[in-house]
Each structure stands twice: as C-alpha cells, then as structure tokens.
Amino acid sequence: MADVEKQAYELAKGKYAEHGIDVEAAMDKLSKKAISMHCWQGDDVMGFDQPENAASGGILTTGNYPYRARNFKELTEDFEKAASLIPGKKRINLHASYAVFTDENPWVDRDQIEYKHFEPWIMWAKKNGYGIDFNPTLFSHPMVKEGLTVSSPEKEVRDFWIRHCIACRKIAERIGEEMDDMVLNNFWIPDGLKDYPADRYGLRKRLKDSLDEIYSFETPHVIDSVEQKVFGIGLEGFTVGDQEFYVSYAAKKGGNIVPLIDLGHFNPMENVPEKLSSLALFFPYLALHVTRSMHWDSDHVTLFDDTMRELSYEIATIPGAWGKSRIGMDFFDASINRVGAWAVGMRTMEKSLLYALLQPAKEMKHLQDTYQFSEKMMVYEAAKTMPFGAVWDKYCRRQNVPADSDVWAEVKKYEDEVMSQR
C-alpha cells in the first residue's frame, strides 16, 4: 500500500507541476496556518458556569448521543484526542462560560469573571502548543431577558452584560500578554424579536451605546470582532446586530475592531465567500466562524462542499488574506460522536485550504484579465478532477494523522475505551 500511495503522490505532484503548482510548497504553507478549534462542540455548548441550564438564548443543540464531556478534564481529554486526528497547527476557541471554578477560585457570575478562572486553559494550551481565542457568552443565562442583552430597554440588564464583555476583553488581553500573541475576542449577541419591531432604531441605538462603553479602552493584544446574524430561533422577526450594523460600526471605530463572518448567519441565498474580497480591502483582519448551514439551522459539521472550497479559495488568493485571516470553527451536533465531529469539521477546513492552494489561480486570473472566459471556464472545470486525494493523503501522513478512511476506527476505539466509561 505504501508503494501505491507513493506512486499516486508522485503522479499527482507531476500533474500539478504541469500547471506551475508546487505541491510541496502548498503543504508547507498549510502546515503553518493555525485553525481555531471550538471548545463548545465537545459538550453541546453547556459550559461550566450554569450546568443546571440547557443551552438557550438563541442557542439550541439537538440529539442525544451519549458520552458528552462534563468537566474541564473530560473536555480537554476529548480535545486532545480529536487534535491527534487533525493535521496542521491549532488554536483553541473558548467561550467565557467555560471558566474553571475550584475551591480556590469559586463560582462567580459572568460579570465578575477574571483571568484566574481561565488559567487552567492557558496552562493546558501552552503545554500543547495551542494559541487561544476568546468569546464573551451572552446566552444561556437568566439575565437574557425576553431575548435581549446589551440592547435591552432595562438598564440593569444592559449593565450586567456590559460588565461581562469588559471583563472578557480584559481576560483576552491578559491571555495575549501571557502567550505573547494576538487573541481574537468575538462579540455575538442573540438579541432580537420574534415578531416585527415597533422601534428598530431604539434597539440598535442601545446596542451602539453599549459597544461604545465595552470598547472604551485599548487592548493591544486583542483583535475585537463583532458577529452578525440574520435571525435566531424564536427571534425570527428582527435581529438587532445585523451585517449592516456591524460592518458600519467596525468601519467607524477603526483599529482592531473588525466584522466577523459566520458562514451560517446569512440568508441561504447569499454567497458568503464572496464577501471576503470586499472586507479585505478595508479591514486589517478577516475574522471567520466556519460552519455549515442547512435550511434554518446554522451549525452543522462542515463538509468538503462548494462553499468550503470557495471560501478557502478566497483566503488563498486574495492578496494578504492568508496572513490576516483568523479562522475559527463553529459547529455543534449532539446527535453524533463529538470527537468525530471535531475531526471531520477541522479536517474539512484543512482539506479545503489545501485544495485551494493547489488551484491554478494565476492561470485563471490571467485568462479572466485577458477576457478568455471560455478557456477560464474549462481550466476551472479541469482543476476539479486533478488528483487532489493523493496530495491530501500525503499531507495527512506527514502530519502523523490518519487518512480519511482510518479516522472512524480511531474515534470508535476512543469511544469504547474512554468515553463510554463516563
């Protein structure tokens, strides 16, 4: 089998070389690109600070697959197993609801959390060579009142969540200092109404005023991002933080505040990858949450589909986008093995980026710029059946992770030996 794989790879490398594509350089480039792996897939977005409450406030997980991680030890254990199946560099993406409380650092509410509540995560990340990204958690909490947080008409509610977001920015800054890194701190709110609003302006004015207070101080180790959504479950009539609001706000504020694009948070008919080229012209970073939408749901495990390939092509070919893109995964599925979900979704992102790096982009750009549209179309189609699989298998072997066909056996073995004992 090894000889067959070697022959297949050499043939593939030669085929790509005919189009001026250096396969070895593509694999080397991909191996250095960190993808942020989200903690909330491992426990169905339950978190550690409100364990008695199911996910709520615009967040919904469905399914009852057993063996959900229940604490920091189990979650990091599952994370490490999944990471061992995924090629490339990794970061971890933390929500504030995953604060670790101990006898020395007992439970506090979200507006009182501090860096010390995340020190176990930082120590673990350093040990494993992971970077960290962060998110305030404005859902699954009693202070989400009638679907509203920082846009609420109640000052007490707004102030609670403003304090929470300020605390999170301070935590993210401290993480950045401790790890000598830039931390993406992403702001998402569920705020919206089930039916048509009587006062859109008032809700958005309160959101703007809250954000002004949240971002009133400098955090040199933080990239602040603001994430839109077209609607939420139970909030179908109106979303306060839509794309127009956040792009406008980020552009007005300047600095390190950028809009974050979540692939599942747009109208189903919108081409989300198409948005990157516009944002890349005006913002210092391209912040992404990568997921797969289906009908009205936004958080299915990513697969190697047209959207993923097009998204990756934009990242790989827009000037400067590779360096300034901050890619985080954002799916959660309680109906399947959670380690397997992580492995498939993260591998899909890596696979899509490698596929993009192996496209004849320069050739197609030349054909487009010289109005040779018929030939461009044919080159585009021919590239789809290039021997990509052999290169992907080679990349996985070099990264010491299994090929696609061998992943499930590893996941099932871990489920039988570790997860089933919970």
Q: How many other CB atoms are found less than 10 A from the CB of residue 103? A: 5
Enter the tokens of residue 71.
């604490």
Pick the catalytic residue: 40, 188, 342, 392?
Answer: 188
Enter the tokens of residue 287.
């912040």
Type and span of the H or E element at 186? strand 183-187
- 297 noted as active-site residue: yes
- 141 noted as active-site residue: no
Cα angle: 42, vertex 45, 50; to 5 degrees: 120
Q: Do residues 110 and 96 make contact, with C-beta atoms less than 8 angstroms apart?
A: yes
Pick the catalytic residue: 43, 227, 242, 333?
Answer: 227
- 299 noted as active-site residue: yes
Q: Do residues 132 and 96 make contact, with C-beta atoms less than 8 angstroms apart?
A: no
- 227 noted as active-site residue: yes
Burial class of 127 by CB neighbour count within 10 A (0 to 12, 13 to 18, 19+) = exposed
Residues in the chain: 422
Q: Do residues 16 and 391 make contact, with C-beta atoms less than 8 angstroms apart?
A: yes
What's the half-sphere exposure (Cβ side, CA atoms, 13 Å) at 300? 11
Enter the tokens of residue 199.
């006062």
Pick the catalytic residue: 289, 351, 376, 394?
Answer: 289
CA dihedral 304, 308, 314, 315 (to 10 degrees): -80
Pick the catalytic residue: 114, 181, 297, 375?
Answer: 297
Pick the catalytic residue: 44, 133, 178, 262?
Answer: 262
Q: Whose CA is closest to 90, among 130, 136, 133?
A: 130
Q: How many other CB atoms are found less than 10 A from the CB of residue 2? A: 7
Burial 157-186 (b: 16+ CB within 10 A, else e): bbbbbbbbbbbbbbbbbbbbebbeebbbbb
133: amino acid identity, one letter: D
Pick the catalytic residue: 95, 141, 164, 229?
Answer: 229
Enter the tokens of residue 193.
């109404």
User: What is the per-residue DSSP string for 255-296?
Assistant: TTEEEEEETTSS-TTS-STTHHHHHHTT-S-EEEEE-EEETT
- 262 noted as active-site residue: yes
Phi-psi region of 47 (alpha: psi -120 to 50; beta: other; left: phi over 0): left
- 218 noted as active-site residue: no
- 289 noted as active-site residue: yes
Burial class of 190 by CB neighbour count within 10 A (0 to 12, 13 to 18, 19+) = buried
Q: How far is CA 212 from the centre of its chain?
A: 25
Q: Whose CA is closest to 346, among 129, 83, 125?
A: 83
**Residues labelled catalytic:** 188, 227, 229, 262, 265, 289, 297, 299, 330
